[in-house]
Structure 1
Amino acid sequence: MPDLADPRRADAAASPAPARLAELEIGGMTCASCALRVEKALAKVPGVTRASVNLATERARVESDSSVEPETLTAAVRKAGYEATPSAPADAAPVQAARTTELAIGGMTCASCALRVEKALAKVPGVTRVSVNLATETASVDLNDATSGADALIAAVKKAGYDATSIAPPDTAVAADAAGHVTTATAATAPSAADRKRNESRRELAAVLVCAALTLPLVAPMVGEWFGMHAMLPPWLQFALASGVQFVFGARFYRAAYRAVRAGAGNMDLLVALGTSAAYGISLYELAMHPGDTMHLYFEASAVVITLVRFGKWLEARAKRQTTDAIRALNALRPERARIRADGGGEREVPLAQVRVGTVVIVRPGERVPVDGAVLEGRTHIDESLITGESLPVPKQPADAVTAGSINGEGAITVTTTAIGAETTLARIIRLVESAQAEKAPIQRLVDRVSEIFVPAILAIAALTLIGWLIAGAGGETAILNAVAVLVIACPCALGLATPAAIMAGTGVAARHGVLIKDAEALETAHRVAIVAFDKTGTLTLGQPSVTAFEPVGAMGRDDALALAAAVQRHSDHPLARAVVHAYEAAQPVAAGGVTAAATHASLTAETTAIVTDMSSMHDSGATALAHPHAPRATAARAVAGRGVEADVEGRTLALGSTRWLNELGIDLPPALAERAHELEAAGNTVSWLMQRGPQASQALALIAFGDTVKPTARAAIERLARMGIQSVLITGDNRGSAAGVAKALGIDEFHAEVLPDDKARVIRDLKIRRAGIVAMAGDGINDAPALAAADIGIAMATGTDVAMHAAGITLMRGDPALVADAIDISRKTWRKIQQNLFWAFVYNLIGIPLAAFGLLNPMLAGAAMAFSSVSVVTNALLLRTWSGASERSQR
């Protein structure tokens, strides 16, 4: 398996790479308004060309020129009222002209916080792109000067009012050593982000439990009234309990609100702080004015709201962590140690950081492969399911490639290391998924615009509610409580999480099933695909010749003629020669059961297909050919330039070659056989002849036709796309007969043959204009790169070239055309989740705010509703984790 395209190099294929790419983790974002403020703060930094903040992952990605220092980005975020720390993607590759820094952001509570952190980071000089993700509480910042540190980014986040720490890439030491550079700090020197979040979750749960214990006595008398019990806590006890909740467990809301106000913005924390302070304040006022009276106070309202909001935030954080399960599962595949062959011939176990390219690694049965490499000794089966989505173990023998993170089967093998650390396929997959999850979908820009005005609008509605109830003659308590309900129920968090939570879940589950989506824009575009244009060779076909027809001439039997043909070809490494040898092998009795393949055209083709499918794992066909003791042997085999090959077999001179050679030898064919050869050539097959040369005359012994075998899943893939309402088109550089044959076999109505690489891009553009729909291109070769770039969305096979993968928005980890439909299907399902989340987030606010304004919701119910809204959005996105591709189901 070739290395996956580095996302940064892949992006560069489409547009000039920024001089610097930085990532930051943003702290303090609580809603979409926060994310928008962070994004604007980063965008205002001189030299920043692009800033993107992701509320769900709490990350920011910033593209800037080389003059922008990381410290400037973090300072900009801090000035906006949030925290920011530079971070680097897992297994970050050695950087050339640009680098990406990742920060863990603390203190973000809603989308408004994320936007504020993003804006602060965007202002840091040298930042080219910022993306803040609220769900993972991280920021991704692209910097254009690899020599700069992360201090400026952290400073900008802290200036914005949030905490920020740098996330060290797990394999920094490995990558640095491999490049010959100085080793830097690794994850081993500091707690991982996952450990930090687990510790924060435990502390948050403990705080929620204590908060609930203080609040329960305040709520119990209200519940008792429903059953006719009229017990009331002493007013001063209510004051003591509520004060503990308000100023100890509610302090975080005051701090975040202060940072927002200082930055000239608002967020969820400001709404909660104002609402609970109003309820607490009116209760304190009544208590001070009537200290000796027994009256109903509203301390329970402020305490319950704070308790419910913190409980909701704990549930939300727990659900958000589950959206990153795919990344954690991939990270878990990396072994920390490797067993290497020592100089004296023995073996020793060393940390993975000490392994270098060229090191011989020993992998025992059941162990994970620690590096990318090639099998040196041994045979086994490798489980690559978590990397490629392939459910069945893949056979491996000497010279076959193995991938880090895959699980060795029954045999011990030795592997020559070809890639380590940041350059392994697994590391590239992780970077690609992280990059996709950190990006914003185009629809998120609309949400950001709404979030920007959300908090000011809610403050205005709350003020109007207060004034309206006072004008209507209601008491001050009623007016204040209704205004409090408006402040508490309005939550921009659901809006901010709707899109990124679904994207994280969708890209994660897609990666687990062998579909790697480069960015959110590719995911959003793929759901609207109406036409898929397929390359033929290597995409719909195996790209390897096989025997499609073998017809003996005269009285000679099929098996005898095939044995003679294989004898002539056994010493050749030509693809057509290997196809003949494998066809002969497939027709022989199976060693275990002694069952002989039927000597019919259909069975021969089927057997040949099965053999050819596994040809990629064969290192030396000649070594395995003609293992049967009674097979004829050839001597004095020799190539005849431009004609074919001839050899002496059992006293006869046999030749195997082209029709041109047949004609030169003056061999006359029966009319029926000549017509058959013409039909096969018209269908795109290559026709060769097995001939016997004699002193006076030569004769034909058999007709052999070669063709590119259609992949077993190709027909089902085309049919599934048709059921999805998607038309398939075939584009190939092969001759018209070959293209027509494959199109007919697969049920494709439209095909374009003999198309040059540049013309493939023209055909794609014509399809886009003629069909007025979104066109996807699926291919695997260098000649497909122009068409992949010209299409609305490019889909590349990971079994193909790096050039093709650079130009594509989606990479398929297996050369299975069924994954094309899977990629579109998961895109559609993810898009539906985004639509559902946005619908409910908007409807929730459109219904809840008027109800609260008209006095139909008390503050406690409003607080519960607000907490539920964010949790429900993330939980709905998590349903995507149950998705399973049809290609995987077909393998079971």
Structure 2
Amino acid sequence: MWCTSCALAVEGVVAHRPGVESISVHYPTATLWIKGAAPAITLDILAPQIKRLGYRLTALEPSSDAHARLEQESRYLSLRLLVGSVFGMWTMLASILIYAGALPNPTVEWVVAWVSGAFAVPVITFAGWPFYRAGLRTLRAKRPGMDVLVTLGVWSAVVVSLGLLWRGSAQVYFDTAVMLIVLLLGGRLVETLCRHRGLKALDILPEPREEILAWQDKQWLATPLADVAPGARVMLGAGELIALDGVLESAAWVDTASLTGESVPRHFPKGEPVYAGCRLLGSEDAPMTVTHAMGQRRLDRLRNQMRHYQAQKGELHKLADRFAAWLSPVALLLGVAALPVGLLLGLGVEEAAVRALSVLVVACPCAVGLAVPLASLAGSGRMLSQGIALRDPAALETLAKVTSIAVDKTGTLTRGEPTLVSWECREGISESLLKARLHQVVTSSQHPLAQALKRWADGSEASVPSAQVINEVPGQGVQLELAGQGRFWLGSRRFLTSQGVALGEISPDTPHQAASEVLLADEQGWLGSFYLEDMPYADAASCIAQLRADYWVIMLSGDRPSAVDAMASQLGMANDVCFAERSPEAKARLVQGLPAPTLFVGDGVNDTLSLAAADVGVAPFNASDAAREGAAAYLLKPGLASLVEGLSSARATRRVMVQNLTLSAVYNTLALGLVIVMAIPPLVAVLAMVASSLSVTLNAARLAWRE
């Protein structure tokens, strides 16, 4: 599809078919959503009707095919924009020389006017071809849009210019035709690039390998995932992403962070369901019975829901569609009617044609087209300097109207890595000796908690003897033997108790309920306790306080309640607006239940569904690739300070947008009224159009000057 008019044309053709209840054609994702009786909405029934308009309807395409299609569209537009810019530059230069009276005599002006028209030919024929094709398609659907108006404006300028040249006049309007084509091509190219970027959110959801070991013919055989049916037995590889949903046949430790956001691995007993996208921990493989095949996995449902959320039309989009549905036909009617009305009023053919051209030039949406994009560009540039980058220009308007904000905890309000907050040790053990023993034990471990302890103990000068792992339980702890030092245990209280380690000198209660507790013991018993927390950013509390002054703010997390309650206390938030142990689907439902428009800030793969469900999704500084690609904006600085500043700039930008739209509306109303009741030369119409464009440009520039 070429523009939103194309989407409206397809909707218009299909909406009135018997059996169709509702239809929505979403231009940015080139997706048709339809609801109705099954026989009326099959692909075989709809495709031939839409083909008659010049469009191709297919089954929902894979992301790779969508990327290829949009890359081809980008090249298509870039080539035409290049041709339009290169040849149009000389057309504009020739016209300026004529308008400015810089040429020595009328004969030279007439020759330069012909040169102006010659340079305009590639722009009008090649660069402008997509507008003519789209205009013809929307006319077939009886839904004429801006492309029809642009086509008439371009060719009217050409016809009037040729007529004037034939009569010996040099006051031609090839520059008007060139300007319309080049400006609109540039806008369409930017729009296409934004659509291309938006698809990447679907690509980075965790995708396991394409084959799995399945039990067939009394042996384990490598089998394509597509061939594995529910009920089959498969073998999960240690340390690999789980490929299918199923039920474990033996207990195992699983990292579920990609789907739940939990900061620590979970122990899954035998018979517990696990989902594709999680990761099996430990050093041993685990058998599983498949419950959901490819296409039916929870991961597939998440991806489909993301596409559904992305393809929905917001209120601003619907309002714009309604506006375009009547604006273009009204302007088109005025432009077409100008010539016969002029002839009926007794005007000559040339004068009536010039009057009609003036109406079409005035009616062309140059000022309206510049009003919002220029303000958006200036506002987004200011927000970029404040540390918030917009990936979707349309999100700027929604940011200005946000009423509710949902914030993920881990990695958004916090730094995303554990930090030692307190420790205690056995009587008679010095801090330096404790650090030395701890450094020796954790050196070879890659567990996040072990790495945090290693950072704390790194000041120790102790040598690191060779270590032999005797027993390891993933997610719980490890028993190892250090050469010349004896045996040591490091892990949770549950792990040390199961190993028979004496914990007589340690308090039975954890002093930090929200912290992760790690115990160290040697052959004599308990040696030390360490309490680690994911600490909030220094400005988290102040930023949340500022946001709560203007918005309804809640905190969402997949983490345990104790950690969420502790974070709420540090931020000064009430417990009833902080939600713990929420799955990705539950987070998305909560976001959708907030007063709209909504904003969600999240950093993980598990947050991608909520980012898509919110009216605006924002990825923080240290966000994962999936969150960054799925968000409409992302922060360039740690913490939320840039978000607070960016929301203020978004509100100021929207005010300028409204002012610009008002200015352009006043211009169109006055100009159309004047050109209908009195003769206005096309040159004056062009100058009026330039003046209106200049007014919205200068107004938008105030955003860049704003302190």
Of 507, 528, 535, 2:408 maps to 535
1:49–1:63 Cα contact (<8 Å) kept: yes
Provide the C-alpha distance between the structure 2 equivalents of 1:73 and 1:41, rounded to a whole number of angstroms: 8
Provide the C-alpha distance between the structure 2 equivalents of 1:836 and 1:664, rounded to a whole number of angstroms: 73
Of 665, 690, 706, 2:502 maps to 665
Match status 1:743 vs 2:568? yes
1:532–1:776 Cα contact (<8 Å) kept: yes
Other-structure match for 1:15: none
Matches within 5 A, 1:239-318: 267-270=149-152, 299=169, 303-304=171-172, 306-310=173-177, 312-313=179-180, 316=183
Other-structure match for 1:389: none
**Alignment root-mean-square deviation, CA:** 6.5
Other-structure match for 1:889: none
Show CA shifts across 1:410-454 (max 9, x none). xxxxxxxxxxxxxxxxxxxxxx9xx99x99933421331232333
Q: 1:53 to 1:557 in 2, by over 3 A?
A: closer
Provide the C-alpha distance between the structure 2 equivalents of 1:325 and 1:493, rounded to a whole number of angstroms: 20
Other-structure match for 2:436: 563
Q: CA deviation at 1:810?
A: 3.8
Other-structure match for 1:198: 82
Q: CA deviation at 1:558?
A: 1.7
User: Residue type matched to 2:408 in 1?
Assistant: D
Other-structure match for 2:53: 76
Provide the C-alpha distance between the structure 2 equivalents of 1:34 and 1:493, rounded to a whole number of angstroms: 20
Q: 1:560 to 1:244 in 2, by over 3 A?
A: closer
SS in 1 for 2:436: helix
Q: CA deviation at 1:569?
A: 3.8
Of 515, 531, 534, 1:685 maps to 515
Other-structure match for 1:546: 419
Matches within 5 A, 1:229-628: 267-270=149-152, 299=169, 303-304=171-172, 306-310=173-177, 312-313=179-180, 316=183, 320=187, 323=190, 441-459=317-335, 462=338, 485-495=358-368, 517=391, 520=394, 525-552=398-425, 554=427, 556-585=429-458, 587-588=459-460, 628=461
Q: 1:658 to 1:629 in 2, by over 3 A?
A: closer
Matched pairs, number:
570
Q: CA deviation at 1:707?
A: 1.9
Match status 1:774 vs 2:597? yes
Matches within 5 A, 1:8-157: 24-25=1-2, 50-51=24-25, 66-67=43-44, 76-77=53-54, 94-95=64-65, 102=69
Q: 1:475 to 1:665 in 2, by over 3 A?
A: closer
Provide the C-alpha distance between the structure 2 equivalents of 1:311 and 1:556, rounded to a whole number of angstroms: 83
SS in 1 for 2:437: helix
| Unpaired runs of at least 5, structure 1 | 1-23, 27-31, 78-83, 103-139, 141-166, 171-190, 225-230, 288-296, 331-431, 589-627, 885-892
Provide the C-alpha distance between the structure 1 equivalents of 2:673 and 2:72, rounded to a whole number of angstroms: 47
User: Residue type matched to 1:534 in 2?
Assistant: V
Provide the C-alpha distance between the structure 2 equivalents of 1:706 and 1:169, rounded to a whole number of angstroms: 51
Other-structure match for 1:412: none
Provide the C-alpha distance between the structure 2 equivalents of 1:801 and 1:789, rounded to a whole number of angstroms: 14
Show CA shifts across 1:539-567 (max 9, x none). 43354433221244545432222212333
1:201–1:314 Cα contact (<8 Å) kept: no
User: Residue type matched to 1:446 in 2?
Assistant: R
Provide the C-alpha distance between the structure 1 equivalents of 2:30 and 2:374, rounded to a whole number of angstroms: 15
User: Residue type matched to 1:777 in 2?
Assistant: F
1:441–1:499 Cα contact (<8 Å) kept: no
SS in 1 for 2:504: coil
SS in 2 for 1:267: helix
Provide the C-alpha distance between the structure 1 equivalents of 2:518 and 2:137, rounded to a whole number of angstroms: 78
Q: 1:561 to 1:685 in 2, by over 3 A?
A: same
SS in 1 for 2:410: coil
Q: 1:307 to 1:655 in 2, by over 3 A?
A: closer
Match status 1:851 vs 2:682? no
Show CA shifts across 1:663-710 (max 9, x none). 9736346xxxx5xx957323x11334445654xxx6x65432122243
Provide the C-alpha distance between the structure 2 equivalents of 1:838 and 1:568, rounded to a whole number of angstroms: 66
Show CA shifts across 1:463-493 (max 9, x none). 79859987xxx99999987676444422234
Other-structure match for 1:402: none
1:312–1:867 Cα contact (<8 Å) kept: no
Match status 1:708 vs 2:534? yes
Q: CA deviation at 1:583?
A: 1.7
1:45–1:73 Cα contact (<8 Å) kept: no
Of 686, 690, 701, 1:863 maps to 686
User: Residue type matched to 1:680 in 2?
Assistant: P
Q: 1:686 to 1:835 in 2, by over 3 A?
A: same
Provide the C-alpha distance between the structure 1 equivalents of 2:195 and 2:566, rounded to a whole number of angstroms: 45
- Percent identity, aligned pairs only, is 21
Provide the C-alpha distance between the structure 2 equivalents of 1:726 and 1:846, rounded to a whole number of angstroms: 37
Other-structure match for 1:416: none
Provide the C-alpha distance between the structure 2 equivalents of 1:572 and 1:238, rounded to a whole number of angstroms: 83
User: Residue type matched to 1:203 in 2?
Assistant: F
Provide the C-alpha distance between the structure 2 equivalents of 1:571 and 1:868, rounded to a whole number of angstroms: 70
Q: CA deviation at 1:267?
A: 1.8
Q: CA deviation at 1:584?
A: 0.8
Provide the C-alpha distance between the structure 1 equivalents of 2:118 and 2:488, rounded to a whole number of angstroms: 96
Other-structure match for 1:17: none
Q: 1:816 to 1:450 in 2, by over 3 A?
A: farther
SS in 2 for 1:839: helix
TM-score (ref. length: structure 1) = 0.48
Of 723, 729, 735, 2:554 maps to 729
TM-score (ref. length: structure 2) = 0.58
Q: CA deviation at 1:831?
A: 5.1
Provide the C-alpha distance between the structure 2 equivalents of 1:654 and 1:248, rounded to a whole number of angstroms: 82
Q: 1:462 to 1:52 in 2, by over 3 A?
A: farther
Q: 1:558 to 1:74 in 2, by over 3 A?
A: same
User: Residue type matched to 1:742 in 2?
Assistant: M
1:565–1:690 Cα contact (<8 Å) kept: yes
Provide the C-alpha distance between the structure 2 equivalents of 1:487 and 1:307, rounded to a whole number of angstroms: 14
Q: 1:246 to 1:813 in 2, by over 3 A?
A: closer
Matches within 5 A, 1:651-662: 656=490
Other-structure match for 1:105: none
Provide the C-alpha distance between the structure 2 equivalents of 1:307 and 1:538, rounded to a whole number of angstroms: 56
Provide the C-alpha distance between the structure 1 equivalents of 2:174 and 2:588, rounded to a whole number of angstroms: 61
Q: 1:878 to 1:321 in 2, by over 3 A?
A: farther
Q: CA deviation at 1:533?
A: 2.0
Show CA shifts across 1:314-360 (max 9, x none). 76268648957977999xxxxxxxxxxxxxxxxxxxxxxxxxxxxxx
Q: 1:101 to 1:67 in 2, by over 3 A?
A: farther
Q: CA deviation at 1:86?
A: 12
Provide the C-alpha distance between the structure 2 equivalents of 1:259 and 1:571, rounded to a whole number of angstroms: 69
Q: CA deviation at 1:640?
A: 9.4
Q: CA deviation at 1:844?
A: 1.7
Provide the C-alpha distance between the structure 1 equivalents of 2:611 and 2:112, rounded to a whole number of angstroms: 67
Provide the C-alpha distance between the structure 2 equivalents of 1:33 and 1:756, rounded to a whole number of angstroms: 41
Q: 1:501 to 1:579 in 2, by over 3 A?
A: same
Provide the C-alpha distance between the structure 2 equivalents of 1:246 and 1:789, rounded to a whole number of angstroms: 49
SS in 1 for 2:407: strand
Q: 1:241 to 1:502 in 2, by over 3 A?
A: closer
Provide the C-alpha distance between the structure 2 equivalents of 1:545 and 1:34, rounded to a whole number of angstroms: 52
1:33–1:492 Cα contact (<8 Å) kept: no
Provide the C-alpha distance between the structure 2 equivalents of 1:321 and 1:871, rounded to a whole number of angstroms: 21
Q: 1:823 to 1:549 in 2, by over 3 A?
A: same
| Unpaired runs of at least 5, structure 2 | 35-41, 198-306
User: Residue type matched to 2:180 in 1?
Assistant: K
